[in-house]
Amino acid sequence: MNEPRKLHIKSYGCQMNVYDAQRMVDTLAPEGFVETAAVDDADLVILNTCHIREKAAEKVYSELGRLREAKDEARRAGRALTVAVAGCVAQAEGEEIIRRAPVVDVVVGPQSYHHLPQLLARARQDGRALDTEFPLDDKFQHLPAPRPDTIRARGVSAFVTVQEGCDKFCTFCVVPYTRGAEVSRPVKRIVEDVRRLADNGVREITLIGQNVNAFHGEGPDGRPWPLGRLLEHLATIEGIARLRYSTSHPRDVDDSLIAAHRDLPSLMPFVHLPVQSGSDRILAAMNRKHTADDYRRVIDRFRAACSQIAFSSDFIVGFPGESEEDFAATLALIEQIGYAGAYSFKYSPRPGTPAAEMPEMVATAVMDERLARLQDLIDRQQAAFNAAMVGQTVDVLFERDARYPGQIVGRTAYLQPAHVLAPPDIIGQVLPVAVDRLERYSLIGQLAGPQQIPPRSASASPTVSTGA
């Protein structure tokens, strides 16, 4: 019997890449590959890349430099190391990767990784293999179903892709060029995935897509279903205690999604809703197709439907032409909304996007100073949100053993880590936790009451200081 070959995947960037990496493992398992956490004993290393920011792309080339040394060491030890670059950098810079990094054997875009077995065979024969096409067929139809042992090994939470690509064409973003146009999976296929996950111990599903609330997959009735209706259907699947989704666009929040937050106890009251800027002038230059007031009204609709709801967001500082007045409008919006967390970045020009050709680039020193001010405000809001949990009883889905013996860690509805002293048989359960204190970003507490799943109304809603 042949020894299994070892596969190491390093993913950068978004949740979609995490999901794609897992499906690459599933795709290569029939070829005799097993996953390893160590590069040193891998037979195949895949860098699953992100092209959203310049630094992310440059990290890939730095990593490839290190892999060249690893490949040389493997050759001296008498074994072969194959190196593949997948994901959005592969899609955007396929030929450039081949030119700059001779260590690379395979380059494959995010729409073609189901071809990995064939590409590896071609690389063995021809020395190199490249596939960055946008195939006409749906890659999801060709991916093997995850094996039960693989699902169980990944824990009680799982991502499920329901939508890919984006038609919004924000001027700073490469996603439409690297992931393609918006495509939604049929509801039937999604339900099959979720049922398989639930049957193998998964308790929480996060539906993911570049623009997930633009979902319009074909339903069992032959009509396009919106995301809210899909969530309503998935909420009926036995074993699934929690539902989430990410990432959303403010323009695609429809009434069905608002109703889902009103009506579904299993849909977590935490929404990642990027806004990028609070300035209407900058939002127009970004081609976001909404104003700051449009965004505020969407937030109000969510809050009217679910009083417990909280938000995270994305912000870009230093977009071309951003003035101090524009930046002040962003700070004002943050103060008004009040966030439980956010991702903030300095503007990074991406080749081929309209913003990269815009004049009036903001000086790096100015971007640094604005980013520090924005992040300080977000940090204070997040700290206040977390501190409001102390003294409350909150529901926690327990996921795994914690770092310290006897501790089990899980996450609240708002994705905060929560630690308790308890036996490991609580893993996979949603239990109430009385929060005693806060250690950095983690809640420390004790189980409160019997080991059963209480209704969400049993958990107190945290109070967020919005500064409004």
The Cα 167–Cα 28 span in angstroms is 31
Question: Is residue 152 within 8 Å of 185, Cβ to Cβ?
Answer: no
Residue carrying structure tokens 């903030």: 344
Whole-angstrom distance, CA of residue 17 vs CA of residue 31: 21
Q: What pLDDT is attached to residue 253?
A: 97
Phi, psi values for residue 24, rounded to 5° = -65, -40
DSSP H helical segments within 343-447, as ranges? 364-387
For residue 439, how many other CB atoms are within 10 A of its CB?
9
The pLDDT assigned to 15 comes to 76
Distance linking the first and last C-alpha atoms of the chain = 67
Dist. CA 101–CA 61, nearest whole Å: 8
pLDDT at res. 457: 33
Rounded distance, CA 90 to CA 99, Å?
Answer: 12
Residue type, 6: K
pLDDT at res. 416: 97
DSSP 8-state assignment for residue 407: E
Write the single-letter amino acid at 274: P
pTM for the full predicted model? 0.83
pLDDT at 466: 30
Q: What is the pLDDT of residue 152?
A: 85
- Show Cβ contacts of residue 221 under 8 Å, excluding neighbours closer than 6 positions: none
Torsion of CA 295, 300, 302, 304, to 10 degrees: -170
Does residue 187 contact residue 236 with C-beta atoms inside 8 Å?
Answer: no
Blockwise average pLDDT, block size 10, the chain, 468 residues: 82 80 88 88 90 73 88 86 89 84 90 87 88 66 75 90 92 87 92 95 95 96 97 97 96 97 98 98 98 98 98 98 98 98 93 91 96 98 97 97 92 97 95 96 89 38 33
How deeply is 444 buried, as exposed, middle or buried, from its count of CB atoms within 10 A (0-12, 13-18, 19+)? middle
Amino acid (one-letter) located at 186: P
